[in-house]
Structure 1
Amino acid sequence: MKPGSCRVALAVLALLFAWIVPATAQDAPGPARIAVVSAFEPEWTALKAAVEEPRSEEINGVEFVSGRLDGHDVVLFLSGVSMVNAAMTTQLALDRFQISTIVVSGIAGGVDPRLSIGDVVIASQWGEYLESVFARETDGGYRLPSYARKSFANYGMMFPQPVSIRRAGDTSGDRFWLPVDPKLLAVAAQAAGAVKLARCTPEQACLDHAPQVVVGGNGVSGMAFVDNAEFRRYVADTFQARVLDMESAAVAHVAYANRVPFIAFRSLSDLAGGGEGANEMATFFGLAAGNSSALVRAFLTALPVAGVAEPKIP
């Protein structure tokens, strides 16, 4: 083959290789960014509208909006509802962008009976509480397989189990609780006092209380929308959970596996079956989403521009 033809062939092969092999965060263009993740459209409307010099691109059907928000380089995207969607899109973002921090903003169901609709919970750890063994029923109750453990109280045949997580440098594997980065949590606590949360929707459906920000405690996530008072009590008693949703723990799982700092802001749109009458989400999801995004923006404003160091996760 002539030298010129060889160079052309190598160039063609390089282009084909670049097309076949996806980009990684290491060779992704642009600065390190804070990923701001919401589950569905109403949760990111206000945040997306506030991005300066937005640049939108679609990757595998997911829209990513890059730009500046409250002094930081960010990339916003919708995870989609459900644990699988949340994990898939978060990993996609990590593979395509240089992500320094992951922030979740959205609505949730309230579990702690001391909390009310509109409150924002910033949990210090998240668990995948519906990862379970459905045990065999016996005359005396239920019998677990020999490999399973009873880490928490069961709900009938459902026995919650830890999740095996693999990441470089770890040998333990099994975890239930996935921690929020403590430095991010401290900044969030500082920012909480600067936010006045909304009490009324644009349609003037108003709460009879002033919403509050609660920092710390437990959150849980799973593949179920919960609107059941009995199950809500079980979740509160068993996991000492303040809030539940369908995405945050999945994002925490991916963040933990990739050693990226993570925090989630979840505002209560309903009480997961604990309220009187019909589920309240349809009425208050807009108010809750707005309260969450307002606190996220206060958090970003308070966050040092240099961000935080890699967390020391045990």
Structure 2
Amino acid sequence: MRALVTALLLAPVPLAAQVIDDTPRIAVMSAFAPEWNVLQQGIEKAETHTINGNDFIAGTLEGKDVLLVLSGVSMVNAAMNTQIALDRFTVDRIVFSGIAGGVDPAYDIGDVIVPARWGEYLDAIMARETADGFEIPPWMSSAYPNLGMRFVRNQTVLREGLSEPESRFWFPVDPDMLGTAQEVAARVVLPDCAEDGSCLEATPEIVVGGNGVSGAAFVDNAELRTWALEAFEARVLDMESAAVAHVAYANDVPFIAFRSLSDLAGGGEGANEMETFMDLAATNSATVMRAFLAALD
């Protein structure tokens, strides 16, 4: 017994995460390699820090001190790496740049959408099927139309200053940064052709405002796309932004996301378009994001 107690006393005690860099920085995030590679173009004074096998690159971009963060694909990866960035660096704003699926038929591939708020639309109650249709337990509720057995539920959020957990679906982006994005959208012109010669039918536009939704699924389904439009008035859907918005909200850090449409999430006439226009969409999103960074105070 004495040997066991001695061993426990001598065992290393995990320390709280140490802040690596105390320079206030804008976290500039993307989900996966094609987006990440575009973001690294032009970064200066780069210094790479590896945490849990993931690289975090501190440097300057468009004259601003930034921290490039590869979130990884999916809600869990995005939330985890956002919180790591906030815990280990001095982050005062978060900007996400990447590709996404288009939901609103008013917009097309190559367009850059900058929603005013984000919701986690695939966090769900799987309802019981009865003779009268699908029914959720009586002590639960859903504020949005269901898709078959799937009913959407709110998130329970804790943050500094709340006396009890808050229930919410939408996570707003920062209004000041959204205003800057609106100013930038009026003067940035985006290309309509990829490097391989594939061209869009129309010159891409930049759309600021409206709703975006995120969930743990790659969507290539016309029925789900229609549901996302009708239930949430979503313009765009992806697999990370709402998770980052959730973490930013819980930490009281301003957030905004720029998402360029690489495909129509199952709304196109043929096969999914992402592989054809992924690079063009990633470049368009990064182009708008860089102009936004340059315009920030």
**TM-score normalized by the length of structure 2:** 0.94
- Letter paired with 1:151: A
CA-atom RMSD in angstroms:
1.2
Match of 1:109 among 95, 101, 104: 101
Match of 2:207 among 199, 205, 214: 214
SS in 2 for 1:297: helix
Aligned to 1:23: 17
Match of 1:200 among 176, 193, 205: 193
Aligned to 2:265: 272
SS in 2 for 1:31: strand
Percent of aligned pairs sharing the same letter: 56
Q: What pairs up with 1:226-237 in 2 under 5 angstroms?
A: 226-237=219-230
Distance 2:180 2:188 in 1: 13
- CA shift digits 1:70-111 (9 cap, x unpaired): 111000021000000000000011110000000000000000
Distance 1:28 1:60 in 2: 14
SS in 2 for 1:32: strand
Distance 1:83 1:124 in 2: 19
- CA shift digits 1:127-159 (9 cap, x unpaired): 000111000000000111122102100000000
Aligned to 2:4: none
Counterpart check, 1:80 vs 2:84: no
SS in 2 for 1:99: strand
Distance 1:194 1:113 in 2: 24
- Gapped runs of 5+ residues in structure 1? 1-12, 305-314
- CA shift digits 1:256-283 (9 cap, x unpaired): 0000000000000000000110000000
Aligned to 1:225: 218
SS in 2 for 1:223: coil
Aligned to 1:128: 120
Alpha-carbon distance, 1:172 to partner: 4.9
Alpha-carbon distance, 1:53 to partner: 1.1
Distance 2:85 2:99 in 1: 21
Distance 1:28 1:86 in 2: 20
* Paired residues of 1:194 and 1:298 also in contact (CA < 8 A): no
Distance 2:165 2:15 in 1: 31
Distance 1:150 1:36 in 2: 33
Distance 2:235 2:250 in 1: 24
- Letter paired with 2:122: L
Distance 2:240 2:188 in 1: 24
Distance 2:71 2:20 in 1: 20
- Gapped runs of 5+ residues in structure 2? 1-9
Aligned to 2:233: 240
Alpha-carbon distance, 1:28 to partner: 4.0
- CA shift digits 1:224-243 (9 cap, x unpaired): 11101111111100000000
- Letter paired with 2:44: E
Aligned to 1:177: 170
Match of 1:143 among 135, 142, 148: 135
Distance 2:40 2:22 in 1: 19
Counterpart check, 1:281 vs 2:281: no
Q: What pairs up with 1:34-53 in 2 under 5 angstroms?
A: 34-53=26-45
Aligned to 1:191: 184
| Residues matched between the structures, number | 286
